[in-house]
Amino acid sequence: MTGMLVLAGTPIGDVEDAPPRLAKELETADIVAAEDTRRLKRLTQALGVRPAGRIVSYFEGNEAARTPELAEALASGARLLLVTDAGMPSVSDPGYRLVAAAVERDVPITAVPGPSAVLTALALSGLPVDRFCFEGFLPRKRGERLSRLGEVAAERRTLVYFEAPHRLDATLEAMAEVFGAERRAAVCRELTKTYEEVKRGPLGELAAWAAEGVRGEITVVVEGAPEPDPGELDATELARRVAVREEAGERRKEAIAEVAKDAGVPKREVFDAVVASKKG
């Protein structure tokens, strides 16, 4: 007999956003795996439900070690409900390992759709949402952060990031440096909560605003890169883009090649721009 893995979305702020099916699953699951059992207790109290099954913790620190145990329970017939602190499991939260283990054992998987900070922020951003990509959290170290941003500098789709409030100013500064200070963006803070705020504007302005300090859960939405127009970028901008990539640890030869590809110009033109900038 095979069990069932249920991935359930939980409120990202307002508890009234909890999907109706969540209460039923909480009451009937054999096992409830929660990122934070204390937050789960507050959620069940708010929903007025009492889980009948066993409650276990399943977070970043024990995810790898606990997955085999939970996978065996699924294979033995248990109905297992997986919830995280907010939003859908696996989206920058624990869950992927357990899903992969369930797939490997041919265990059925279903979901209770719920609130999503990614989709909510996209809808509120005022930026194009027909095509987008989710980049999660950026690296904490400046060089690695710049390198990661450099990988998507020419991405045409709208970009979505999660960020901690104490790193927001550094992240926006890095985005302005790599994407350009005039690239449009939106900082979505405390979505669906009492102090919800959406700050829209060019990256340069948002970086200056964030330097004063920002609190709460943060989702950043950034406009995709415009279509390249050969010859549109001047030598100063070409040299700046190469410098950003070099600072992130990329070799100059590779940096020149990537900038030329993104800008749609010959590598020689980018090389000459870099040489001229050094002379200046």
Q: In this predicted model, what pLDDT tens digit does every residue of 237-257 receive, in sequence order?
A: 889 889 888 888 889 999 999
Comparing 249 with 161, the larger pLDDT belongs to: 161
Q: What is the CATH number of the domain that holds 147?
A: 3.30.950.10
Does residue 229 sit within a domain? Answer: no
Q: Are 6 and 79 in contact (CB under 8 A)?
A: yes
Tokens coding 250:
């990329």
User: Residue 33: which domain range?
Assistant: 4-115
Rounded Cα gap, residues 29 and 70, in angstroms: 13
Rounded Cα gap, residues 74 and 79, in angstroms: 7
Does residue 60 sit within a domain? Answer: yes
pLDDT, average across residues 264-268: 87
Q: Residue 137: which residues within 8 A CB-CB, separation 6 or more?
A: 92, 161, 162, 163, 164
Beta strands 54-57 and 31-34, pairing class: parallel
pLDDT, average across residues 185-202: 97
pLDDT, average across residues 149-172: 95
CA 17 to each of CA 46, 49, 97: distance values in angstroms, whole numbers, following the listed order: 12, 16, 27
Q: Which helix (H) or strand (E) holds 74?
A: helix 63-75
Instruction: Judge if 218 and 140 occupy the same domain.
Output: yes
**What is the percent of the chain with per-residue pLDDT over 90, rounded to a whole number?**
80
Does residue 108 sit within a domain? Answer: yes
Place of tokens 């070690």: 65
Does residue 13 sit within a domain? Answer: yes
Place of tokens 């959290």: 137
Rounded Cα gap, residues 164 and 213, in angstroms: 11
Instruction: Judge if 90 and 69 occupy the same domain.
Output: yes
CA-nearest of 199, 156, 196, 151 to 175 is: 151
**pLDDT at residue 262 in the model:** 81
pLDDT tens readout for residues 93-111: 899 999 999 999 999 999 9
Beta strands 79-83 and 4-8, pairing class: parallel
Q: What is the mean pLDDT of the chain?
A: 93
**Confidence tier at 78 by pLDDT (50, 70, 90):** very high
**pLDDT at residue 231 in the model:** 56
**pLDDT at residue 230 in the model:** 57
Does residue 156 sit within a domain? Answer: yes
Total domains present in the chain: 3
Instruction: Judge if 140 and 204 occupy the same domain.
Output: yes
Q: Are 33 and 80 in contact (CB under 8 A)?
A: yes
Judge whether residue 42 has pLDDT over 90.
Answer: yes
Does residue 230 sit within a domain? Answer: no
Comparing 34 with 240, the larger pLDDT belongs to: 34
pLDDT, average across residues 80-91: 94
Rounded Cα gap, residues 122 and 198, in angstroms: 11
Across the chain, where does the E strand assignment appear?
4-8, 31-34, 54-57, 79-83, 109-112, 132-137, 158-163, 184-189, 197-202, 218-222
Q: Are 88 and 114 in contact (CB under 8 A)?
A: yes
Comparing 208 with 151, the larger pLDDT belongs to: 208
**pLDDT at residue 264 in the model:** 80
**Confidence tier at 261 by pLDDT (50, 70, 90):** confident
Q: Residue length, the chain?
A: 280
Rounded Cα gap, residues 225 and 240, in angstroms: 16
